[in-house]
Structure 1
């Protein structure tokens, strides 16, 4: 007499298709395993490489919940899947993408004064001190409008020192701030108010003056 297996291999799934977490921490990947009969084996894979249950870097790689400790972007970011087997066959989940964001300090921005005073026709320099251990992108804003790097009126709009030339009161007076962005995030400075005073009268040269 022949007996035919009528059951199904395990059905495996993840609650989402992507997990995003920070570098340096731990993460738990949970796979839902559905089977009418007990499963005999559960395995986890990164790409096509089976993950060992070493109890150090990986914990639970023979269970539905895989713990990965001390995440590193270069080593751990990628796609994962789990597989399970019963007497009816072997099932495979879809891929789960693990995305790891670097973590670290955002730039620190300081400015010695909340106001700078200049006169019409002069130039003004706004300087921020920006501290960052890694490469930083810098942008300047007047009120909420970003200052164009190609605008000839401004020099250094991608640096901590912004030079504004040929100051005009109605056009240039107002609040300025800068933003600094590195790999870990973005920091916005406090506003600095640029006050523009009227142009000083030119002193007389004496030519043609009478006593």
Structure 2
């Protein structure tokens, strides 16, 4: 596969692409983080959008999101866990895009696949008149990746970052940006997505042991 190609086509995926989606899930995620075929079909039935970067007969990456009328700045209304976040039915008027799965094949990481998918989602949101692009960021530096052969993040535990997340969760006070982006995945989100960080969500994805179950919610304001 050509990892650095700028010409990989991006298109909307549907149920007919299920074999490609399942193969990418197996290639890109550790077992506890993978979505089942039933879960993906349920999300499609809810009206979710799944974009795929196509490289030959395989997916280089996907970006999955739902279009929602929710206002993400109303913390009390924000989904309390990943299943709720990734299970919202499409609703109108479209105020926000909630992105719950940016998945890039390991052989394509370090290239431009993730950036191109994010830009396509941004263009999509602007066409709809949406205000916010929202993502849930893994923070693997909290506990460190497991080191399993199917865990490709390979992020070491950072005690200072862990203390930052624990304090944020306890007090509700957002820490300075430089403390949040000590985590390499959140730093990547910030640099390529030009986002801000809204909340830290405890027990958002308990299966994600590297992140201690936490996710950090990011936002990009399309009106700026």
Q: TM-score range by the shorter chain?
A: under 0.3
More strand by share: 1
Q: How high is the TM-score relative to the length of structure 1?
A: 0.22
More helix by share: 2
Q: How high is the TM-score relative to the length of structure 2?
A: 0.21
